[in-house]
């Protein structure tokens, strides 16, 4: 797995809870912001504000996603870059699963 998201982009990802089961990251990403390559284990994302992102995986695949506010979404483990392609700040929580 690629470098940890919090180490790669501490201005975007902040650990708000961690135990032996999960790690919860708060995400705040300005419009147009883009991260370097980083990795996440399988996770549940819950956005507080709706947004649009582009994920570019290390294998070259690119995925555009609409992230609705308040709707939990499961995302499998991945290494990628993230770009906020929407007009507003991307704000939400990522619940990374440890088991």
pLDDT band (50, 70, 90) for residue 8: very high
pLDDT score, position 25: 98
pLDDT score, position 40: 96
pLDDT score, position 58: 81
Q: Kindly write down the DSSP assignment for every residue of the chain, as one continuous string.
A: --SBHHHH-TTTEEEEEE-SSEEEEEEEE-TT-B--SEEE-SEEEEESS-EEEEEEETTS-EEEEEE-BT--EEE--EEEEEEE-SSS-EEEEEEEE--
Instruction: Report pLDDT digits (tens) over 18-76.
Output: 999 999 999 999 999 999 999 999 999 999 999 999 999 988 899 999 999 999 999 99
């Amino acid at each position: 797995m690629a470098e940890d998201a919090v180490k790669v982009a501490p201005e975007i990802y902040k650990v708000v809870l961690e135990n032996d089961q999960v790690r919860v990251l708060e995400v705040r990403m300005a419009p147009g912001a883009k991260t370097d390559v980083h990795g996440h284990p399988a996770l549940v994302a819950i956005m507080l504000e709706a947004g649009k992102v582009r994920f570019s995986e290390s294998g070259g695949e690119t995925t555009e996603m609409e992230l609705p506010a308040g709707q939990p979404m499961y995302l499998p483990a991945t290494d990628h870059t993230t770009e906020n392609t929407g007009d507003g700040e991307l704000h939400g929580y990522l619940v990374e699963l440890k088991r």
